Amino acid sequence: MAGRLRKPPVMGGFFQRRENEVEIDNKINLGFSGGGFRATFYCLGAYRRLVELGLEKHVNEITSVSGGSIAAGAVISALAEGDFSSLLDFDRRVTTKLINLGQCNFRRRIMTKASWLAYLLPYLPKLQQLALAAALRPKMSKAFPQVLDEELFEGRKMKQAEAATEWSCNATCINTLKRFRFKSSDIYGYLLGRSSDIDDIPIAFAVAASAAYPVGFAPLELDVEAREFRDLYGTGTQKPENPAKLYLTDGGVYDNLGSESMLKSPVPLLMLDASGASQPLWDNSHMSKLELANRTLAVGLDQVVYLRRRLLFEVKQHQQLILGRGLGKIIEYWRERGTRGMNMEQLLQVEQLCAALRTDMDGFHDVEIEYLMWLGAVKIDYALRLLLPGNEQLQQSKMPELPDHDAGFATAVLERGGKMSIFKPLHHDLHLN
């Protein structure tokens, strides 16, 4: 992939409001949705396009949940150490690290760190697999942030994630049944208030809490009994005493878009939505007990996504960049401007296959990563062109470069990627060469 990178053009600032154009005051917000590594690489591709265009400094805030929090955490922890000097600098400090994470046998690393018994899982009968996996869930929840730290965050604390772009990392609090939010300045929870007593909280813990999908992970525990919380919002709902612990699970259980805090913001939100949707299943003869449990949970999670999308749809300045929808208009846009080599039918199929890729933290193939990143890039690029019709440099820039793969091979990889293989890797080889 590195061989196809282009030098980013130098871009000017945003133009101010014209007639029928949303006032953005030189700022945009980004939302990074849930969806496992599918969301991680979709959101990575979108942000990378901003860097390529020289527009990343105009991002006011990133709100993230689940797999999107992995991408956001990598971006913000790098930004906290200094701006990106070029696209190659961004790729060195962010892209390469996230691709390595997505191809380091991450899920197996977590399971085997939890217990050596995890090595036996692929060889056990199904019922014993399920029983052992369930028994390992609490230990896996402790191993999750440890592996994230080893591979990505290197011991950095949330206090060290302070950057020009603010970051809200969202989890679901089991105690309150509401959103729980991490920032570099404080933590916030319903009935608790805000606390700046966060010196001990690692970035890896916040991201793991945001991404701890309940089927695979027990809730992560955060000690709060001795932390001082204040009702800085004046809600009057703060309890006089803290619980000893908060139990935190995947932020997507409450809001898989992570959009709640942005709904009333006057700053335009570009919502990178890779949350997908479960498909009707007629042939259930081969459905395992784990798949049945997963689909039962998916009913509620899908409704969360649909309702959150509806709320965003009602706010005119926000745009939803949904993986699995809208690519046809973008292809037509580029065809009208003379771009060749775009097979509409093939690319629409690619997008549908990418929208159905697994979200179980299994390793991703080069083809899966490259197409997800391209889809994120081409969608945010198109959204910016609509938002900023007067920005000549943006309007004159070329389309994000399409991955160059044999159509049959790419389709086969992506079709396989939509399957689930919990206890052993789905792809035998993750690389093209």
Closest CA to 52 of 431, 398, 423: 398
pLDDT for 316 equals 66
| pLDDT of 23 strictly over 70 | no
Q: What is the mean pLDDT of residues 88-107?
A: 97
Say if strands 166-173 and 220-223 run parallel, antiparallel, or are unpaired: unpaired
Read off the pLDDT band of 1 (50, 70, 90): very low
Is 27-417 assigned to CATH 3.40.1090?
yes
In the chain, where are the structural domains located? Answer: 27-417
Out of 49-53, 80-84, 130-134, which region has the weakest mean confidence (pLDDT)?
Answer: 130-134
The model's pTM is: 0.89
Over the stretch 242-288, which tens digit does the pLDDT of each residue have?
999 999 999 989 888 888 888 888 899 999 999 866 667 766 667 77
pLDDT for 16 equals 32
SS in 3 state form for 394-423? HHHCCCCCCCCCCHHHHHHHHHHHCCCCCC
Long-range interactions of 314-318: CB distance < 8 A, separation 24+: 315/263, 315/269, 316/22, 317/22, 317/24, 317/266, 317/267, 317/268, 317/269, 318/262, 318/268, 318/269, 318/270, 318/271
Mean pLDDT of the chain: 88
The top-scoring range by mean pLDDT among 17-21, 72-76, 105-109, 358-362 is 72-76
- C-alpha distances out from residue 223 to 152, 155, 168, Å: 24, 19, 20
Q: What is the mean pLDDT of residues 338-358?
A: 93
Cβ neighbours of residue 421 under 8 Å, at least 6 residues apart?
Answer: 362
What is the DSSP annotation of 306-339?
Answer: HHHHHHHHT-TT-EEEETTSSHHHHHHHHHHTT-
